[in-house]
A and B are shown apart, each in its own frame.
Chain A
Amino acid sequence: MSKVLMKGNEAIGEAAIRAGCLNYFAYPITPQSEVAEYLSRRMTEVGGVFLQGESEVAVSYMIFGAAACGERVFTTSSSPGISLMSEGISYICGAECPAVFVNIMRGGPGLGGILPSQADYLQATKGIGHGDCRMLVMAPASVQEAVEMVMQAFPLAEKYRNPVMILGDGLIGQMMEPVSFRDDLKVPPTNKDDWATSGMDTRKSTKRNLVKSLYLDPEVLNAHNLKLKAKYDRMRQEEVRYETYNTGGDYRVLIVSYGTMSRVCRSAVDALKARNVETAMVRPQVLFPFPEQAVFDAAAKSSCTHVLSVEMSMGQMVEDIQRSVQGRRPVHWYGKCGGEVPTPEEVMEAVEALLQS
C-alpha cells in the first residue's frame, strides 16, 4: 500500500473512481475546481465520463438522471454552487436515488470569498432542500479521511437510496497530504434491479420501474414522507460517528469541533495540557446524524463546566450541541468566518477567557 502525495480535491476524485463511480458531472468553482481538473484527465483513462454542465442546476439533474438509471454518480461543488443544486437534491431525495455530493465550503453568504469556511453546516444538516428531505453528512478532517469517507459514501447512499454529502472546508480541498487507497474499501455492486430505470431488457425483467418524486394523492404523499422519515430515523440509529480526544481524565472545558478546525483544536488541547489546563474534544465525523449522546456524556462529566463550539462559522453547530447537552452546561462559541482559520493560540485564548469568566 504505497503512498502518494495528493491535494484533497484530487484525492476525492481518485477515491470516487476507486469506489467504482465512473460518472462525474460538475461545474467549476473555487476552491474545488481541481476535482474537475483531475477527473477531466483520469475519467478518460478509466473509461468513465466527466461532463461539465452549463450550471450547477443542470449538474444536479444530470446526477438525478444517472442515479435514476442505477449508475454510481457524484458531483463536487462549493457553497454557492451547492445552493443552486438544492432543488435537484430535493428531487433526488424524493425519488429515493443514491448519489454523492461533495461541498468544499468557502466563506459566504452570497459570493463571499474563496478561503476556507464551515458556514454551510445548517444548510447541509437541516436545509439541504425543500420538503422533508435530509441527507447523511460526513465531515473529513484530513485528506486520508476524505478518501475513506468518499469511498464509504457510495454504499451508504445505496443502503438508504438517498444522497450523501461530504462536507469539507476549503482546506480539505486545497491542502496536500500523503494518502493511500485501501483496496478493502472497494464497493461491491448493489442490486438496483428493483427500482432503477435501467431498461427491462437490461434487467431481463417484465416489471416497469418508475423513478419519481411526484405524489398528488395526499395520503400517498404522506405515506411516502413517513417512509423517508423512517430512513432518516434509521440513519440516526446506525450512522452516528465521532472521535473523542483527551476525554479519559478530568477536564474543565469540552470543545466540540469538526473538519480541519478540529485539528487546530487538537493542537490547542495539547498546548493547554502543557499549561495544566485540561480540556477535551468531541469531533463529529458525521454531522447528520449528530452524535448527541457522545456530546451529552462528555459534557456531563462532573469536572466539565463549559462546552465550547469551535467552528469556521458564526456558531451554526451551537444549537445541535445545546440540544445534545440538554441545558446541563452552558454552550459557548468561538470561531471566525472570513476565510481565516483560527490558530491554536486563538483557541487557547478563547478557552482561557471562558475559564476566567
Chain B
Amino acid sequence: MEAVRLERAVPRYEGVVVIVGAFGSGKTEVALNLAAVSRNAGSRVWIADLDLVNPYFRTREAKAALTRIGVEAVLPPDAYLYADLPILTPLVAGVIQRTEGLVILDVGGNDAGATVLASLADAFAAAAGHGRALHMLMVINPFRPFTDTVAGCRQMRASIEQASRLAVTGIIGNANLMEETRLEDIENGYRFVRAFSKESGLSLEMITVPESLWMQMAPVRFFCPVLPIHRQLVPPWKRPAEFNGGSNPRSFLNKTVVNGE
C-alpha cells in the first residue's frame, strides 16, 4: 500500500473547467468547492453561473461566501438575479478568454442546461488559440434518478455532448445523500464511477466527500484526488459551511490518504 499526502490528492487545474452533469448531480456545490480549494492553493479563480434552467439553489446564492474568500463571481446583473429568464451575460465570453488563472463554469443540468455552451463556441476557440486547457468534467451522483446505471451515465454524456458541441474530458464522482451520506455510500459511489470511467475511457478526475465524513475516512482507499465538500446551498433552517475558519479545507491537508489499489 502506498501512502499519499492529500496535498497531492487535492485536484489542481489551470485553464477553463466546465462543470456539467445531470439535473441535481451537485454541479454547483462541486464548482463552489473546487473554486475554494483552488483559491486556497493560490490560484486566481473566476466562477461563472451559467445555470439558465434552475430557479433556486444556484451559484449566485453563494455570492457573499465567494467574495469573502476572494473568488470572483461572474453573475447576471443584480436586477435580473431572480428573473425567470435564461440570461447569459456577455461577461462569460470574456472570462473564458482570460489568459491566466482558473475559470470555472457552473452549467445547468442535462442537455437542456448544457445547450448554452454551444453559443460560447467562439470564446472556447479563442481560449484554445492562446493555449488554455479546456476540461469539461461531468458530475455524477449515482443516488440520483437516470444516472444510477452506467447505461444512464453513457446516455447523459452523449446528450450533453450533443447539446454543448463539446466533448466531456473527465468524471467527478459526487455520490451523496446529502447529510444522510454514509462512508459506505462514498465507497459504493467510488466503485460506480470507476466502472463508468473504465467503460467510457474518461478519466476519473476526483471524487467528493462531505466535510462531516472526512475525519472518519482514514485510511481511505481511493485512486484519485478527493474534494472535500463544504455545503453552501442549504435550506433556510441550515447554515452553509464556512470555507475558512473552523472547517477550512486547508486544515485537511495534513491528513494521510492511503492508496489501496
Interface residues of A (CB under 8 A from B): 3-7, 10, 14, 30-31, 34, 37-38, 41, 113-116, 170-171, 174-178, 260, 263-264, 266-267, 339, 341-344
Determine whether the beta carbon of A174 is less than 8 Å from that of B55. yes
Determine whether the beta carbon of A114 is less than 8 Å from that of B237. no
B107 CB → nearest A CB, Å: 17
The docked-state distance in angstroms from the alpha carbon of A264 to that of B237 is 5
Chain B: interface size category: 20 to 34
CB of B208 closer than 8 Å to a CB of A = no
The docked-state distance in angstroms from the alpha carbon of A186 to that of B59 is 38
List 6 A–B pairs whose Cβ atoms lie within 8 Å, in order of A's numbering.
A4-B148, A5-B176, A38-B145, A115-B56, A171-B56, A264-B236
Determine whether the beta carbon of B144 is less than 8 Å from that of A174. no
The docked-state distance in angstroms from the alpha carbon of A30 to that of B176 is 26
A270 CB → nearest B CB, Å: 10
Determine whether the beta carbon of B145 is less than 8 Å from that of A175. no
Specify which chain A residues have a CB less than 8 angstroms from the CB of B57 in the assembled complex. Answer: 174-176
Q: Is the interface of A mostly helix, strand, loop or mixed?
A: mixed
Specify which chain B residues have a CB less than 8 angstroms from the CB of A176 in the assembled complex. Answer: 24, 57, 178
Determine whether the beta carbon of B237 is less than 8 Å from that of A5. no
Determine whether the beta carbon of A5 is less than 8 Å from that of B235. no
Q: Which residue of B lies closest to A260 (CB)?
A: B235
CB of B180 closer than 8 Å to a CB of A = yes
Specify which chain B residues have a CB less than 8 angstroms from the CB of A34 in the assembled complex. Answer: 23
Specify which chain A residues have a CB less than 8 angstroms from the CB of B178 in the assembled complex. Answer: 5, 176-178
Number of A-B contacts defined by CB within 8 Å: 75
Answer whether A30 and B55 are a contact pair too, CB < 8 Å, given A3-B143, A114-B84, A175-B235. Answer: yes
Determine whether the beta carbon of A5 is less than 8 Å from that of B56. no
Q: Which residue of B lies closest to A42 (CB)?
A: B145
| Residues of B231-261 whose CB lies within 8 A of A | 235-237
Determine whether the beta carbon of B56 is less than 8 Å from that of A31. yes
The docked-state distance in angstroms from the alpha carbon of A343 to that of B235 is 10
Answer whether A5 and B82 are a contact pair too, CB < 8 Å, given A174-B56, A260-B235. Answer: no
Determine whether the beta carbon of B143 is less than 8 Å from that of A342. no
B27 CB → nearest A CB, Å: 12
Q: Which 5 A-B pairs have the closest CB atoms?
A: A341-B236, A178-B177, A174-B56, A267-B237, A263-B237
Q: Which residue of A lies closest to B236 (CB)?
A: A341
B177 contact from A3, A14, A175, Cβ within 8 A:
A3
B23 contact from A3, A7, A116, Cβ within 8 A:
A7
CB of B146 closer than 8 Å to a CB of A = yes
Specify which chain B residues have a CB less than 8 angstroms from the CB of A5 in the assembled complex. Answer: 24, 141, 143-144, 176-178
Determine whether the beta carbon of A4 is less than 8 Å from that of B235. no
Determine whether the beta carbon of A6 is less than 8 Å from that of B145. yes
Determine whether the beta carbon of A113 is less than 8 Å from that of B177. no
Determine whether the beta carbon of B145 is less than 8 Å from that of A14. yes
Determine whether the beta carbon of A339 is less than 8 Å from that of B82. yes
| Residues of B39-98 whose CB lies within 8 A of A | 54-57, 82, 84
Q: Which residue of B lies closest to A270 (CB)?
A: B237
Q: Which residue of B lies closest to A32 (CB)?
A: B55
Determine whether the beta carbon of A4 is less than 8 Å from that of B143. yes
Q: Which residue of B lies closest to A340 (CB)?
A: B236
Which interface residue of B24, B57, B180, B237 has the most chain A CB atoms within 10 A? B237
Which interface residue of B144, B146, B236 has the most chain A CB atoms within 10 A? B236
Q: Which residue of A lies closest to B176 (CB)?
A: A5
Determine whether the beta carbon of B82 is less than 8 Å from that of A10. no
The docked-state distance in angstroms from the alpha carbon of A171 to that of B61 is 14
Specify which chain A residues have a CB less than 8 angstroms from the CB of B145 in the assembled complex. Answer: 4, 6, 10, 14, 38
Determine whether the beta carbon of B237 is less than 8 Å from that of A31. no
B165 CB → nearest A CB, Å: 22
Specify which chain A residues have a CB less than 8 angstroms from the CB of B180 in the assembled complex. Answer: 3, 178
The docked-state distance in angstroms from the alpha carbon of A263 to that of B238 is 10
A170 contact from B56, B146, B237, Cβ within 8 A:
B56
